[in-house]
Structure 1
Amino acid sequence: MHEKLPNPGRCAVMGVLNVTPDSFSDGGRYLDRAAAVAHGVEMHRLGADIIDVGGESTRPGSERVDAATEIERVLPVVEELVAEGVPVSVDTTRAKVAAATAEAGATVINDVSGGLADPDMVHVAAETGLPWVLMHWRGHSKDMDRLARYRDVVAEVRDELLRQVDVALRSGVSEEAIVLDPGLGFAKTGAHDWQLLQRLDVFVDLGFPVLVGASRKRFLGRLLADADGTPRPPSGREAATAAVSVLAADRGAWGVRVHDVQQSLDAVAVAAAWRSGGTFSG
Protein backbone atom coordinates (compact mmCIF):
# COMPACT_ATOMS: atom_id res chain seq x y z
CA MET A 1 0.00 0.00 0.00
CA HIS A 2 1.19 3.51 -0.81
CA GLU A 3 2.88 5.21 2.14
CA LYS A 4 0.59 8.24 1.84
CA LEU A 5 -2.60 6.19 2.06
CA PRO A 6 -3.93 6.07 5.61
CA ASN A 7 -3.38 2.63 7.08
CA PRO A 8 -4.93 2.67 10.57
CA GLY A 9 -5.06 -1.09 11.03
CA ARG A 10 -8.79 -1.13 10.25
CA CYS A 11 -10.90 0.11 7.36
CA ALA A 12 -9.98 3.77 6.85
CA VAL A 13 -12.65 6.46 7.18
CA MET A 14 -12.61 9.35 4.72
CA GLY A 15 -14.66 12.35 5.82
CA VAL A 16 -16.62 14.22 3.15
CA LEU A 17 -16.15 17.98 3.01
CA ASN A 18 -18.22 19.55 0.23
CA VAL A 19 -17.25 23.17 -0.39
CA THR A 20 -20.20 23.64 -2.76
CA PRO A 21 -23.63 25.29 -2.77
CA ASP A 22 -25.45 22.34 -4.33
CA SER A 23 -24.26 18.96 -3.04
CA PHE A 24 -27.15 16.55 -2.51
CA SER A 25 -26.67 16.10 1.23
CA ASP A 26 -25.10 19.24 2.69
CA GLY A 27 -25.04 21.73 -0.17
CA GLY A 28 -24.09 25.21 0.97
CA ARG A 29 -23.45 24.25 4.58
CA TYR A 30 -19.67 24.49 4.22
CA LEU A 31 -19.32 26.92 1.33
CA ASP A 32 -17.97 29.46 3.82
CA ARG A 33 -14.23 28.88 4.19
CA ALA A 34 -14.10 29.16 7.96
CA ALA A 35 -17.05 26.79 8.39
CA ALA A 36 -15.44 24.30 5.99
CA VAL A 37 -12.10 24.36 7.76
CA ALA A 38 -13.73 24.03 11.18
CA HIS A 39 -15.75 21.04 10.02
CA GLY A 40 -12.70 19.36 8.50
CA VAL A 41 -10.70 19.87 11.69
CA GLU A 42 -13.59 18.52 13.77
CA MET A 43 -13.95 15.38 11.61
CA HIS A 44 -10.22 14.78 11.99
CA ARG A 45 -10.46 15.31 15.75
CA LEU A 46 -13.23 12.71 15.89
CA GLY A 47 -10.91 10.23 14.19
CA ALA A 48 -11.36 10.56 10.43
CA ASP A 49 -8.21 9.31 8.74
CA ILE A 50 -8.38 11.75 5.83
CA ILE A 51 -10.65 14.62 4.81
CA ASP A 52 -11.89 14.65 1.20
CA VAL A 53 -12.34 18.22 -0.02
CA GLY A 54 -14.49 18.78 -3.12
CA GLY A 55 -15.52 21.96 -4.89
CA GLU A 56 -17.88 20.62 -7.54
CA SER A 57 -21.10 18.75 -6.87
CA THR A 58 -21.46 15.35 -8.52
CA ARG A 59 -25.06 14.78 -7.46
CA PRO A 60 -27.28 13.43 -10.25
CA GLY A 61 -28.22 16.14 -12.72
CA SER A 62 -25.81 18.76 -11.42
CA GLU A 63 -24.20 21.30 -13.73
CA ARG A 64 -20.44 21.72 -13.91
CA VAL A 65 -18.50 24.69 -12.62
CA ASP A 66 -15.33 25.98 -14.27
CA ALA A 67 -11.85 25.09 -13.05
CA ALA A 68 -11.17 28.56 -11.67
CA THR A 69 -14.28 28.42 -9.48
CA GLU A 70 -13.40 24.95 -8.26
CA ILE A 71 -9.86 26.01 -7.35
CA GLU A 72 -11.14 29.15 -5.64
CA ARG A 73 -13.40 26.99 -3.47
CA VAL A 74 -11.03 24.21 -2.51
CA LEU A 75 -7.49 25.58 -2.48
CA PRO A 76 -7.77 27.87 0.58
CA VAL A 77 -9.55 25.14 2.51
CA VAL A 78 -6.88 22.57 1.64
CA GLU A 79 -4.13 25.01 2.61
CA GLU A 80 -5.68 25.75 5.99
CA LEU A 81 -6.43 22.10 6.79
CA VAL A 82 -2.89 21.09 5.90
CA ALA A 83 -1.58 23.90 8.12
CA GLU A 84 -3.68 22.39 10.95
CA GLY A 85 -2.05 19.00 10.40
CA VAL A 86 -5.12 17.42 8.81
CA PRO A 87 -4.49 14.80 6.09
CA VAL A 88 -6.37 15.87 2.96
CA SER A 89 -7.51 14.30 -0.29
CA VAL A 90 -8.98 16.32 -3.13
CA ASP A 91 -12.21 15.23 -4.81
CA THR A 92 -11.83 16.46 -8.39
CA THR A 93 -11.91 15.33 -12.00
CA ARG A 94 -9.65 18.18 -13.18
CA ALA A 95 -5.88 17.97 -13.52
CA LYS A 96 -5.43 21.69 -12.76
CA VAL A 97 -7.27 21.34 -9.46
CA ALA A 98 -5.39 18.19 -8.52
CA ALA A 99 -2.03 19.81 -9.30
CA ALA A 100 -2.81 22.98 -7.36
CA THR A 101 -4.02 21.14 -4.28
CA ALA A 102 -1.16 18.63 -4.41
CA GLU A 103 1.25 21.55 -4.31
CA ALA A 104 -0.68 22.85 -1.30
CA GLY A 105 -0.23 19.57 0.55
CA ALA A 106 -3.11 17.28 -0.44
CA THR A 107 -1.85 13.71 -0.30
CA VAL A 108 -4.51 11.79 -2.28
CA ILE A 109 -6.30 12.50 -5.57
CA ASN A 110 -9.89 11.22 -5.53
CA ASP A 111 -11.07 11.27 -9.15
CA VAL A 112 -14.70 10.23 -9.59
CA SER A 113 -14.14 9.98 -13.35
CA GLY A 114 -11.32 7.47 -13.02
CA GLY A 115 -9.18 9.63 -15.30
CA LEU A 116 -11.75 9.82 -18.09
CA ALA A 117 -12.93 13.42 -17.65
CA ASP A 118 -9.52 15.05 -18.06
CA PRO A 119 -6.77 13.32 -20.07
CA ASP A 120 -4.14 15.35 -18.22
CA MET A 121 -5.08 13.89 -14.84
CA VAL A 122 -3.02 10.77 -15.44
CA HIS A 123 0.08 12.93 -15.94
CA VAL A 124 -0.55 14.82 -12.69
CA ALA A 125 -0.95 11.51 -10.87
CA ALA A 126 2.27 10.18 -12.38
CA GLU A 127 4.25 13.35 -11.74
CA THR A 128 3.12 13.85 -8.15
CA GLY A 129 3.29 10.16 -7.28
CA LEU A 130 0.25 10.57 -5.05
CA PRO A 131 -2.30 7.82 -4.48
CA TRP A 132 -5.02 8.13 -7.13
CA VAL A 133 -8.56 6.87 -6.54
CA LEU A 134 -9.96 5.61 -9.85
CA MET A 135 -13.73 5.48 -9.59
CA HIS A 136 -15.94 3.77 -12.14
CA TRP A 137 -17.59 6.46 -14.26
CA ARG A 138 -19.41 6.68 -17.56
CA GLY A 139 -20.25 10.36 -17.85
CA HIS A 140 -20.82 13.62 -16.03
CA SER A 141 -23.59 13.95 -13.46
CA LYS A 142 -25.99 15.64 -15.86
CA ASP A 143 -26.03 12.58 -18.11
CA MET A 144 -25.03 9.64 -15.92
CA ASP A 145 -28.48 8.22 -15.12
CA ARG A 146 -29.20 7.38 -18.77
CA LEU A 147 -25.86 5.51 -18.92
CA ALA A 148 -26.89 2.98 -16.25
CA ARG A 149 -27.27 0.08 -18.69
CA TYR A 150 -25.47 -3.21 -18.05
CA ARG A 151 -25.81 -6.87 -18.90
CA ASP A 152 -23.57 -7.84 -15.96
CA VAL A 153 -22.86 -4.79 -13.81
CA VAL A 154 -20.14 -6.42 -11.69
CA ALA A 155 -18.17 -7.75 -14.66
CA GLU A 156 -18.56 -4.58 -16.70
CA VAL A 157 -17.58 -2.24 -13.87
CA ARG A 158 -14.57 -4.44 -13.11
CA ASP A 159 -13.45 -4.51 -16.76
CA GLU A 160 -13.96 -0.77 -17.27
CA LEU A 161 -11.97 -0.02 -14.13
CA LEU A 162 -9.17 -2.31 -15.26
CA ARG A 163 -8.97 -0.44 -18.56
CA GLN A 164 -8.34 2.75 -16.60
CA VAL A 165 -5.76 0.95 -14.49
CA ASP A 166 -3.96 -0.06 -17.69
CA VAL A 167 -3.97 3.54 -18.91
CA ALA A 168 -2.57 4.69 -15.57
CA LEU A 169 0.20 2.10 -15.49
CA ARG A 170 1.22 2.79 -19.09
CA SER A 171 1.46 6.49 -18.25
CA GLY A 172 3.82 6.00 -15.35
CA VAL A 173 1.49 5.78 -12.36
CA SER A 174 2.88 3.24 -9.92
CA GLU A 175 0.78 0.19 -9.15
CA GLU A 176 0.90 0.90 -5.42
CA ALA A 177 -0.63 4.35 -6.00
CA ILE A 178 -3.89 3.02 -7.46
CA VAL A 179 -7.10 2.78 -5.43
CA LEU A 180 -10.34 1.47 -6.96
CA ASP A 181 -13.89 2.65 -6.30
CA PRO A 182 -16.88 0.87 -7.92
CA GLY A 183 -18.75 4.18 -8.15
CA LEU A 184 -22.01 3.53 -6.32
CA GLY A 185 -24.74 5.77 -7.70
CA PHE A 186 -22.72 6.95 -10.70
CA ALA A 187 -24.41 5.59 -13.82
CA LYS A 188 -25.95 2.93 -11.55
CA THR A 189 -29.47 2.10 -10.48
CA GLY A 190 -30.16 1.08 -6.90
CA ALA A 191 -30.17 -2.57 -7.98
CA HIS A 192 -26.74 -2.09 -9.56
CA ASP A 193 -25.42 -0.56 -6.32
CA TRP A 194 -26.58 -3.53 -4.26
CA GLN A 195 -25.11 -6.02 -6.73
CA LEU A 196 -21.75 -4.25 -6.59
CA LEU A 197 -21.75 -4.27 -2.80
CA GLN A 198 -22.76 -7.93 -2.69
CA ARG A 199 -19.78 -8.78 -4.91
CA LEU A 200 -17.29 -6.36 -3.42
CA ASP A 201 -14.89 -9.31 -3.20
CA VAL A 202 -14.50 -9.16 -7.00
CA PHE A 203 -12.88 -5.73 -6.65
CA VAL A 204 -10.91 -6.48 -3.47
CA ASP A 205 -9.48 -9.58 -5.15
CA LEU A 206 -7.94 -7.42 -7.90
CA GLY A 207 -5.25 -6.57 -5.37
CA PHE A 208 -5.76 -2.79 -5.15
CA PRO A 209 -7.13 -0.92 -2.14
CA VAL A 210 -10.89 -0.43 -2.57
CA LEU A 211 -12.84 2.66 -1.50
CA VAL A 212 -16.61 2.46 -0.99
CA GLY A 213 -18.72 5.62 -1.17
CA ALA A 214 -22.27 4.78 -0.10
CA SER A 215 -22.90 7.63 2.33
CA ARG A 216 -26.48 8.93 2.24
CA LYS A 217 -26.93 7.90 -1.40
CA ARG A 218 -30.19 7.41 -3.28
CA PHE A 219 -30.22 3.64 -3.08
CA LEU A 220 -30.29 3.86 0.72
CA GLY A 221 -33.10 6.40 0.62
CA ARG A 222 -35.14 4.09 -1.58
CA LEU A 223 -34.44 1.10 0.65
CA LEU A 224 -35.78 3.06 3.63
CA ALA A 225 -38.73 4.63 1.81
CA ASP A 226 -41.97 5.41 3.58
CA ALA A 227 -45.04 3.25 3.04
CA ASP A 228 -46.14 5.57 0.23
CA GLY A 229 -42.80 5.13 -1.53
CA THR A 230 -41.27 8.48 -0.55
CA PRO A 231 -37.50 7.94 -0.17
CA ARG A 232 -35.94 8.61 3.21
CA PRO A 233 -34.19 12.00 3.07
CA PRO A 234 -30.38 12.08 3.23
CA SER A 235 -30.34 13.11 6.90
CA GLY A 236 -32.16 9.90 7.82
CA ARG A 237 -29.76 7.52 6.08
CA GLU A 238 -26.91 7.48 8.62
CA ALA A 239 -27.69 4.14 10.27
CA ALA A 240 -27.91 2.52 6.85
CA THR A 241 -24.64 4.20 5.83
CA ALA A 242 -22.93 2.83 8.93
CA ALA A 243 -24.32 -0.63 8.16
CA VAL A 244 -22.77 -0.47 4.69
CA SER A 245 -19.50 0.69 6.29
CA VAL A 246 -19.34 -2.31 8.60
CA LEU A 247 -20.16 -4.74 5.78
CA ALA A 248 -17.65 -3.11 3.41
CA ALA A 249 -14.98 -3.27 6.09
CA ASP A 250 -15.77 -6.92 6.72
CA ARG A 251 -15.45 -7.62 2.99
CA GLY A 252 -11.96 -6.12 2.92
CA ALA A 253 -12.49 -2.56 1.70
CA TRP A 254 -9.53 -0.28 2.35
CA GLY A 255 -11.77 2.67 3.14
CA VAL A 256 -15.25 4.17 3.28
CA ARG A 257 -16.11 7.74 2.29
CA VAL A 258 -18.77 9.15 4.62
CA HIS A 259 -20.42 12.32 5.89
CA ASP A 260 -20.87 11.23 9.52
CA VAL A 261 -17.43 9.99 10.50
CA GLN A 262 -18.30 9.07 14.09
CA GLN A 263 -20.91 6.45 13.16
CA SER A 264 -18.71 4.86 10.52
CA LEU A 265 -15.65 4.90 12.80
CA ASP A 266 -17.73 2.94 15.31
CA ALA A 267 -18.88 0.62 12.53
CA VAL A 268 -15.43 -0.18 11.20
CA ALA A 269 -14.10 -0.67 14.73
CA VAL A 270 -16.80 -3.30 15.25
CA ALA A 271 -15.85 -4.93 11.95
CA ALA A 272 -12.17 -5.00 12.90
CA ALA A 273 -12.90 -6.54 16.31
CA TRP A 274 -15.29 -9.05 14.72
CA ARG A 275 -12.70 -10.13 12.14
CA SER A 276 -9.90 -10.35 14.70
CA GLY A 277 -11.90 -12.11 17.39
CA GLY A 278 -11.40 -9.18 19.74
CA THR A 279 -7.65 -8.69 19.29
CA PHE A 280 -8.19 -5.34 17.52
CA SER A 281 -8.20 -2.64 20.18
CA GLY A 282 -8.41 0.50 18.07
Structure 2
Amino acid sequence: MTSATPAPVIHPSAVVEAGAKLGAGVQVGAFCYIGNDVEVGDGTSFGPHCSVQGPTRIGRDNRFHGHCAIGGEPQDKKYAGERVELSIGDRNVFREFCTVNRGTGGGGNSTSVGDDNWFLAYTHVAHDCHVGNHCVFSNNATLAGHVTVGDHVILSGFAGIHQFCRIGSHAFVGMGAFVNGDVPPFLMVAQEGYGKPRGINSEGLKRRGFDSERIGAIKRAYRALYMSGASLEEARARLADIANDSADVRAFLDFIESGERPLLR
Protein backbone atom coordinates (compact mmCIF):
# COMPACT_ATOMS: atom_id res chain seq x y z
CA MET A 1 0.00 0.00 0.00
CA THR A 2 1.59 3.25 -1.12
CA SER A 3 1.48 6.51 0.80
CA ALA A 4 -1.15 7.76 -1.68
CA THR A 5 -3.43 4.81 -0.95
CA PRO A 6 -5.73 5.42 2.04
CA ALA A 7 -5.32 2.86 4.78
CA PRO A 8 -8.33 1.17 6.40
CA VAL A 9 -9.86 3.10 9.29
CA ILE A 10 -10.72 0.77 12.18
CA HIS A 11 -12.46 1.94 15.34
CA PRO A 12 -10.51 1.04 18.51
CA SER A 13 -13.42 -1.06 19.81
CA ALA A 14 -13.65 -3.19 16.62
CA VAL A 15 -12.08 -6.64 16.29
CA VAL A 16 -10.45 -7.53 12.98
CA GLU A 17 -8.93 -11.01 12.94
CA ALA A 18 -5.43 -11.47 11.55
CA GLY A 19 -6.71 -13.50 8.60
CA ALA A 20 -8.98 -10.71 7.31
CA LYS A 21 -7.94 -8.65 4.30
CA LEU A 22 -9.21 -5.07 4.07
CA GLY A 23 -8.84 -2.95 0.94
CA ALA A 24 -7.90 0.68 0.66
CA GLY A 25 -10.15 3.12 2.50
CA VAL A 26 -12.28 0.48 4.21
CA GLN A 27 -14.01 1.84 7.32
CA VAL A 28 -14.87 -0.43 10.25
CA GLY A 29 -17.14 1.13 12.86
CA ALA A 30 -17.46 0.74 16.60
CA PHE A 31 -17.87 -2.76 18.05
CA CYS A 32 -17.66 -4.51 14.67
CA TYR A 33 -16.22 -7.99 14.19
CA ILE A 34 -14.44 -8.99 10.96
CA GLY A 35 -13.47 -12.66 11.02
CA ASN A 36 -10.78 -14.77 9.42
CA ASP A 37 -10.99 -15.52 5.70
CA VAL A 38 -12.91 -12.34 4.99
CA GLU A 39 -11.86 -10.12 2.07
CA VAL A 40 -13.28 -6.61 1.78
CA GLY A 41 -12.82 -4.45 -1.32
CA ASP A 42 -11.74 -0.82 -1.44
CA GLY A 43 -14.05 1.85 -0.09
CA THR A 44 -16.49 -0.44 1.72
CA SER A 45 -17.78 0.76 5.10
CA PHE A 46 -19.31 -0.93 8.15
CA GLY A 47 -21.48 0.90 10.66
CA PRO A 48 -21.45 0.03 14.37
CA HIS A 49 -22.01 -3.52 15.63
CA CYS A 50 -21.69 -5.28 12.26
CA SER A 51 -20.28 -8.79 12.08
CA VAL A 52 -18.75 -10.52 9.07
CA GLN A 53 -17.76 -14.17 9.22
CA GLY A 54 -15.82 -16.06 6.59
CA PRO A 55 -15.22 -17.41 4.11
CA THR A 56 -16.75 -14.22 2.67
CA ARG A 57 -15.69 -12.06 -0.26
CA ILE A 58 -17.06 -8.50 -0.42
CA GLY A 59 -16.42 -6.15 -3.33
CA ARG A 60 -15.79 -2.44 -3.34
CA ASP A 61 -17.86 0.56 -2.23
CA ASN A 62 -20.49 -1.40 -0.29
CA ARG A 63 -22.21 0.20 2.71
CA PHE A 64 -23.25 -1.88 5.70
CA HIS A 65 -25.28 0.04 8.27
CA GLY A 66 -25.48 -0.85 11.94
CA HIS A 67 -26.01 -4.39 13.24
CA CYS A 68 -25.72 -6.26 9.93
CA ALA A 69 -24.80 -9.95 10.33
CA ILE A 70 -23.04 -11.07 7.16
CA GLY A 71 -21.59 -14.48 6.29
CA GLY A 72 -23.04 -16.40 9.21
CA GLU A 73 -23.43 -20.16 9.09
CA PRO A 74 -26.44 -21.42 7.12
CA GLN A 75 -29.63 -21.98 9.08
CA ASP A 76 -29.83 -25.58 7.92
CA LYS A 77 -29.70 -28.61 10.22
CA LYS A 78 -27.83 -30.57 7.56
CA TYR A 79 -24.89 -28.18 7.70
CA ALA A 80 -21.95 -30.04 9.25
CA GLY A 81 -19.24 -27.41 9.26
CA GLU A 82 -18.02 -27.91 5.69
CA ARG A 83 -16.33 -24.99 3.94
CA VAL A 84 -19.02 -22.84 2.35
CA GLU A 85 -18.84 -19.28 1.09
CA LEU A 86 -20.58 -15.97 0.55
CA SER A 87 -19.71 -13.54 -2.23
CA ILE A 88 -21.02 -9.97 -2.49
CA GLY A 89 -20.34 -7.68 -5.45
CA ASP A 90 -19.92 -3.92 -5.60
CA ARG A 91 -21.90 -0.85 -4.51
CA ASN A 92 -24.56 -2.63 -2.52
CA VAL A 93 -26.34 -1.00 0.43
CA PHE A 94 -27.34 -3.09 3.46
CA ARG A 95 -29.44 -1.25 6.01
CA GLU A 96 -29.83 -2.03 9.70
CA PHE A 97 -30.08 -5.66 10.91
CA CYS A 98 -29.71 -7.31 7.49
CA THR A 99 -28.67 -10.96 7.59
CA VAL A 100 -26.97 -12.84 4.74
CA ASN A 101 -25.88 -16.48 5.28
CA ARG A 102 -23.23 -18.58 3.57
CA GLY A 103 -24.16 -21.60 1.46
CA THR A 104 -24.40 -25.31 2.29
CA GLY A 105 -22.41 -28.26 1.03
CA GLY A 106 -25.52 -29.83 -0.46
CA GLY A 107 -26.71 -26.63 -2.09
CA GLY A 108 -23.74 -25.62 -4.19
CA ASN A 109 -21.48 -24.33 -1.37
CA SER A 110 -22.19 -20.65 -1.87
CA THR A 111 -24.54 -17.71 -1.54
CA SER A 112 -24.04 -14.78 -3.89
CA VAL A 113 -25.21 -11.17 -4.21
CA GLY A 114 -24.46 -9.11 -7.33
CA ASP A 115 -23.97 -5.37 -7.72
CA ASP A 116 -25.94 -2.19 -6.98
CA ASN A 117 -28.64 -3.75 -4.79
CA TRP A 118 -30.50 -2.14 -1.89
CA PHE A 119 -31.38 -4.30 1.13
CA LEU A 120 -33.48 -2.31 3.59
CA ALA A 121 -33.78 -2.98 7.31
CA TYR A 122 -34.31 -6.55 8.59
CA THR A 123 -34.07 -8.19 5.18
CA HIS A 124 -32.76 -11.76 5.04
CA VAL A 125 -30.91 -13.71 2.33
CA ALA A 126 -30.66 -17.37 3.31
CA HIS A 127 -28.15 -20.06 2.37
CA ASP A 128 -27.55 -20.93 -1.30
CA CYS A 129 -29.51 -17.94 -2.59
CA HIS A 130 -28.33 -16.03 -5.64
CA VAL A 131 -29.39 -12.40 -6.06
CA GLY A 132 -28.70 -10.50 -9.28
CA ASN A 133 -28.09 -6.79 -9.81
CA HIS A 134 -30.09 -3.58 -9.22
CA CYS A 135 -32.64 -5.23 -6.90
CA VAL A 136 -34.51 -3.57 -4.03
CA PHE A 137 -35.56 -5.58 -0.98
CA SER A 138 -37.87 -3.45 1.19
CA ASN A 139 -38.04 -3.81 4.97
CA ASN A 140 -38.44 -7.38 6.26
CA ALA A 141 -38.40 -9.00 2.81
CA THR A 142 -37.12 -12.55 3.24
CA LEU A 143 -35.64 -15.24 1.03
CA ALA A 144 -35.68 -18.84 2.22
CA GLY A 145 -32.86 -21.13 1.09
CA HIS A 146 -31.94 -21.85 -2.53
CA VAL A 147 -33.87 -18.90 -4.01
CA THR A 148 -32.67 -17.30 -7.26
CA VAL A 149 -33.54 -13.65 -7.91
CA GLY A 150 -32.91 -12.00 -11.30
CA ASP A 151 -31.96 -8.41 -12.05
CA HIS A 152 -34.08 -5.31 -11.30
CA VAL A 153 -36.43 -7.23 -8.97
CA ILE A 154 -38.37 -5.36 -6.27
CA LEU A 155 -39.58 -7.19 -3.16
CA SER A 156 -41.95 -5.00 -1.14
CA GLY A 157 -42.09 -4.95 2.64
CA PHE A 158 -42.73 -8.26 4.42
CA ALA A 159 -42.66 -10.27 1.18
CA GLY A 160 -41.61 -13.87 1.76
CA ILE A 161 -40.16 -16.22 -0.86
CA HIS A 162 -40.38 -20.02 -0.40
CA GLN A 163 -37.24 -22.13 -0.71
CA PHE A 164 -36.11 -23.18 -4.20
CA CYS A 165 -38.28 -20.56 -5.94
CA ARG A 166 -37.05 -18.31 -8.73
CA ILE A 167 -37.99 -14.68 -9.23
CA GLY A 168 -37.48 -13.55 -12.83
CA SER A 169 -35.85 -10.26 -13.80
CA HIS A 170 -37.96 -7.06 -13.60
CA ALA A 171 -40.61 -8.75 -11.40
CA PHE A 172 -42.37 -6.82 -8.62
CA VAL A 173 -43.64 -8.64 -5.51
CA GLY A 174 -46.19 -6.61 -3.53
CA MET A 175 -46.26 -5.91 0.19
CA GLY A 176 -46.84 -8.96 2.37
CA ALA A 177 -47.08 -11.39 -0.55
CA PHE A 178 -45.98 -14.96 0.16
CA VAL A 179 -44.55 -16.61 -2.94
CA ASN A 180 -44.42 -20.41 -3.15
CA GLY A 181 -43.87 -20.84 -6.90
CA ASP A 182 -41.68 -19.43 -9.65
CA VAL A 183 -42.46 -15.86 -10.72
CA PRO A 184 -41.71 -15.28 -14.43
CA PRO A 185 -39.88 -12.15 -15.53
CA PHE A 186 -41.78 -8.84 -15.76
CA LEU A 187 -44.73 -9.90 -13.53
CA MET A 188 -46.40 -8.14 -10.61
CA VAL A 189 -47.46 -10.35 -7.69
CA ALA A 190 -50.05 -9.17 -5.13
CA GLN A 191 -50.96 -10.40 -1.66
CA GLU A 192 -53.84 -12.87 -1.58
CA GLY A 193 -52.96 -15.74 0.73
CA TYR A 194 -50.03 -16.90 -1.30
CA GLY A 195 -49.11 -14.33 -3.93
CA LYS A 196 -51.09 -14.22 -7.16
CA PRO A 197 -49.98 -12.66 -10.47
CA ARG A 198 -51.69 -9.33 -11.06
CA GLY A 199 -50.37 -8.09 -14.40
CA ILE A 200 -46.91 -7.08 -15.54
CA ASN A 201 -44.57 -4.59 -13.93
CA SER A 202 -45.19 -2.02 -16.70
CA GLU A 203 -44.23 1.05 -14.68
CA GLY A 204 -40.91 -0.49 -13.69
CA LEU A 205 -40.23 -1.51 -17.30
CA LYS A 206 -40.91 2.04 -18.52
CA ARG A 207 -38.44 3.41 -15.99
CA ARG A 208 -35.81 1.02 -17.35
CA GLY A 209 -36.29 2.13 -20.94
CA PHE A 210 -38.63 -0.54 -22.32
CA ASP A 211 -40.56 0.98 -25.22
CA SER A 212 -44.26 0.43 -25.98
CA GLU A 213 -43.55 -2.35 -28.48
CA ARG A 214 -41.57 -4.41 -25.99
CA ILE A 215 -44.13 -3.86 -23.24
CA GLY A 216 -46.96 -4.75 -25.62
CA ALA A 217 -45.35 -8.10 -26.43
CA ILE A 218 -44.90 -8.85 -22.72
CA LYS A 219 -48.55 -7.97 -22.10
CA ARG A 220 -49.62 -10.40 -24.84
CA ALA A 221 -47.52 -13.09 -23.21
CA TYR A 222 -49.11 -12.39 -19.83
CA ARG A 223 -52.62 -12.62 -21.26
CA ALA A 224 -51.79 -15.90 -22.99
CA LEU A 225 -50.48 -17.46 -19.80
CA TYR A 226 -52.75 -15.97 -17.14
CA MET A 227 -55.97 -14.64 -18.70
CA SER A 228 -56.80 -16.86 -21.69
CA GLY A 229 -58.09 -19.84 -19.71
CA ALA A 230 -55.73 -22.05 -21.69
CA SER A 231 -53.91 -25.00 -20.19
CA LEU A 232 -50.22 -24.53 -19.45
CA GLU A 233 -49.25 -26.53 -22.54
CA GLU A 234 -51.59 -24.49 -24.75
CA ALA A 235 -50.22 -21.28 -23.27
CA ARG A 236 -46.65 -22.40 -23.95
CA ALA A 237 -47.49 -22.92 -27.61
CA ARG A 238 -48.95 -19.41 -27.81
CA LEU A 239 -45.90 -17.97 -26.05
CA ALA A 240 -43.63 -19.70 -28.54
CA ASP A 241 -45.45 -17.89 -31.37
CA ILE A 242 -45.09 -14.51 -29.68
CA ALA A 243 -41.43 -15.24 -28.86
CA ASN A 244 -40.60 -15.38 -32.57
CA ASP A 245 -40.80 -11.59 -32.63
CA SER A 246 -39.78 -10.74 -29.05
CA ALA A 247 -36.56 -11.54 -27.21
CA ASP A 248 -38.30 -10.55 -23.97
CA VAL A 249 -41.02 -13.15 -24.47
CA ARG A 250 -38.36 -15.70 -25.39
CA ALA A 251 -36.72 -15.03 -22.01
CA PHE A 252 -40.17 -15.28 -20.39
CA LEU A 253 -40.78 -18.67 -22.04
CA ASP A 254 -37.28 -19.97 -21.29
CA PHE A 255 -37.82 -19.11 -17.64
CA ILE A 256 -41.11 -21.02 -17.53
CA GLU A 257 -39.64 -24.10 -19.17
CA SER A 258 -36.53 -24.33 -16.97
CA GLY A 259 -38.02 -24.36 -13.46
CA GLU A 260 -38.24 -27.10 -10.84
CA ARG A 261 -40.85 -25.44 -8.63
CA PRO A 262 -44.46 -25.13 -9.81
CA LEU A 263 -45.23 -21.98 -11.75
CA LEU A 264 -47.07 -19.31 -9.77
CA ARG A 265 -50.34 -19.16 -11.69
Q: TM-score, normalised by structure 1?
A: 0.27
Higher helix content, 1 or 2: 1
Highest Rg: 1 or 2? 2
